[in-house]
Amino acid sequence: MDWFHRLDLHRIDPDTLTLRRVFEMQLNYQIELVLICRTPDCRRRAKVDMITRIDKYGSASTLGHMRKRSRCSGCDMPEPDAYFLIESPRRFEDQWFPRRPS
């Protein structure tokens, strides 16, 4: 069973996660939040500096709240999609949640 299932992430809407929880996932399990632009020919990916976001929105605010206030730095499209990533050591594939981004 992978970390995403161990953390019960498949049972909940990721937008309801608090920024505190997202930061704890990064610290404790090396699960990174990656925001990916929704524009089909852009799809810019950005890892998120959670400390900066927590300073801005508060640790009790949600991923959904933060996402709605984010924009692509390339094409300015609002509301990027949220993905979680565990980067694998060599030889293994990275794990993505909820799915590998296209």
Residues sharing a CB contact under 8 Å with residue 82, sequence separation 6 or more, in sequence order: 14, 15, 33, 34, 35, 36, 63, 67
Answer for which of 7, 22, 25, 37 binds Zn ion (CB under 5 A) is 37
Enter the tokens of residue 99: 């799915």
**In terms of CB distance, is 8 or 41 closer to Zn ion?**
41
- Asked if 70 touches Zn ion (CB under 5 A), the answer is no
83 contacts 96 by C-beta, under 8 angstroms: yes
- Asked if 44 touches Zn ion (CB under 5 A), the answer is yes
**In terms of CB distance, is 43 or 65 closer to Zn ion?**
43
Torsion over CA: 28, 92, 84, 37 (sign): positive
- Asked if 39 touches Zn ion (CB under 5 A), the answer is yes
- Binding site residues, Zn ion, CB under 5 A: 37, 39, 42, 44, 72, 74-75, 77
